Structure formats: structure tokens, C-alpha cells
Amino acid sequence: EAGVAQSPRYKIIEKRQSVAFWCNPISGHATLYWYQQILGQGPKLLIQFQNNGVVDDSQLPKDRFSAERLKGVDSTLKIQPAKLEDSAVYLCASSLVRGRTLLETQYFGPGTRLLVL
Amino acid sequence: EDQVTQSPEALRLQEGESSSLNCSYTVSGLRGLFWYRQDPGKGPEFLFTLYSAGEEKEKERLKATLTKKESFLHITAPKPEDSATYLCAAVPPLVFGKGTRLSVIA
């Protein structure tokens, strides 16, 4: 079974530029999550999708971050404009169960490492 | 504020030297606690979910336990391949700790 795919793996940009990350979840997984992991910290949930609808985006900085999941499969996370403090690893995860409980086992991708200069 | 605190931040063990990692939480109405393993440059890998105080789960050299205020990850006779960062997370609302970096020296 193929795992969660993410691209690019690395990205270096200047502050105030825009950047987009892509995630392809495990086939058949209804729920998709985006996390931000700053060096030395645990992952922080940014947004949770169930199929193509948003379940929770309470920690997404909506003035600069946006995410979509068209057709309930792939997802993109965008930052515009980027700030220095956005330097982090952006992780995508997916889970099978069509639930809202956050108790489902999540399968993580390898992440995209972003450096903002 | 919901918090998850892991200790120690880093742990260095000799191969075969058993120890425990701690995860304390202050979330109210805990519904589940996760343990994940994260290798450098990779995403977290699921280990266990614990749902209620007194529950225990085992996998190879790892055993996770849960009380009303904390969880422990016991590592018995660790090997160098157990070296990783171990993360715990409490639900709701899904808050991760900073992790414990474990190094096992041959």
C-alpha cells in the first residue's frame, strides 16, 4: 500500500514570496490533515478535511495560509506572503475513518521542509 | 490551556538499558492519547492509542501505559534502531508534546 505522498520535499523562498505544498493521501482515506512542525517542537494541527469539506481550521492563520482539497483526494496548502517564522516542516497525514473524533490512526507523509530567508 | 509535556527532552541509553519516557497532560476530558515515533527527516509513525486510565499496550520492546494524568512509554532492552524522537499527543483537541529524543548506544 502506497503511503502519503508530499511534494516538494524541500523549498527555500524569500520572505513575502508565496509557496504551495501538495499532498496525496493514502487511497480511500477520507480524512486529511495538515500540520506545521517547527524545529524542536511537536506537530501543530493547521487544518482537517473530511472528504473535501473543512472540519477544523481553528489554528490556521487565515490571513496568509489557505488550503483546499478538491474532489476529496489531493490537497494543497498555500502560504502568501511567507514570513520568517513560517520556516518549518509541513506534514500531511490521512486517516481512513469518516469520523470527526480525531481518534483515528493517522498516517503521515515525509513532510516538506520550508526555509524562509 | 490544554498542554502536553514530555520528559526528558533527551535520553541517552546504552544498548540493553531499560528506561521510561513520560508524557503528562492537562487536557480535560481526555478521550485518547497517542504515541508516535519520528525518525530524522521523516513523518511520525503511529505506535499506540490509549483510551482510558489503566490501559496498557505493547509492541516488541515498547509498552505504553496510561494514568489519569500521564502516560509512560517503557522501553525494555533497547537496541540502536530504537533511536528516534518519541511524540505523544492528547485528544481533545489533538495537542502534541515536544517529544523525547532517544539515543541508544551500542
Residue type, B82: D
- Cβ–Cβ gap B42/A106 under 8 Å: no
Mean pLDDT of chain B: 95
For chain A, say whether B96 makes contact (Cβ under 8 Å).
Answer: yes
| Among A89, A76, A77, A93, residue whose Cα is nearest residue A32 | A93
What confidence category does residue A33 fall into, taking pLDDT thresholds of 50, 70 and 90? very high
What's the average model confidence in pLDDT over B11-36?
A: 95
Q: pLDDT: is B3 or A115 the higher one?
A: A115
Of B70, B57, B83, B56, which is closest to residue B26 (Cα–Cα)? B70
Cα–Cα distance for residue pair B36/B23, rounded to 1 Å: 12
pLDDT at A101: 67
CA distance to A1, B9, B10, B32, B88, per residue, from B91 (Å): 27, 22, 24, 5, 10
Q: Whole-angstrom Cα distance, residue A106 to residue B103?
A: 25
pLDDT at residue A88 tops 70:
yes
Q: Which residues lie below 8 Å from residue A15, measured CB to CB, with a gap of 6+?
A: A81, A82, A83, A84, A116, A117
Return the residue matching grid coordinates 517564522.
Answer: A85
Q: What's the grid cell of residue B76?
A: 525494555
Asked whether B80 and B35 are in contact (CB, 8 A), the reply is no
Q: Is it the case that residue A110 has pLDDT exceeding 90?
A: yes
Contact A102 B93 (CB under 8 A): yes
For chain B, positions 5-64, list CB contacts with chain A under 8 A.
31-32, 36, 41-46, 49, 51
pLDDT at B92: 85
Predicted confidence band of residue A100 (pLDDT cuts 50, 70, 90): low
* CB-CB neighbors (< 8 A) of A107 in chain B: 46
Look up residue B55 and give its three cell numbers.
490501559
Q: Which of A40, A42, A103 sits opposite B91 (nearest CB)?
A: A103
Verify whether the Cβ–Cβ distance A42 to B97 is below 8 Å. Answer: yes
The CB density around residue B76, as the number of other CB atoms within 10 Å, is 14
pLDDT band at B2 (very low <50, low <70, confident <90, very high): low
Q: What is the pLDDT of residues A49-65, one digit of tens each?
A: 988 899 999 999 999 99
Position A72 pLDDT exceeds 90: no
A103: closest chain B residue by CA: B32
Give the bridge partners for A60, in sequence order: none
Q: How confident is the model at residue A97 (pLDDT cuts 50, 70, 90)?
A: confident
| Residues B65-73, mean pLDDT to the nearest whole number | 96
Contact flag A101-B31 (C-beta cutoff 8 Å):
yes
Looking at chain B, the whole-number percentage of residues with pLDDT higher than 90 is 90
pLDDT at A103: 82
* Identity at B86, one-letter amino acid code: Y
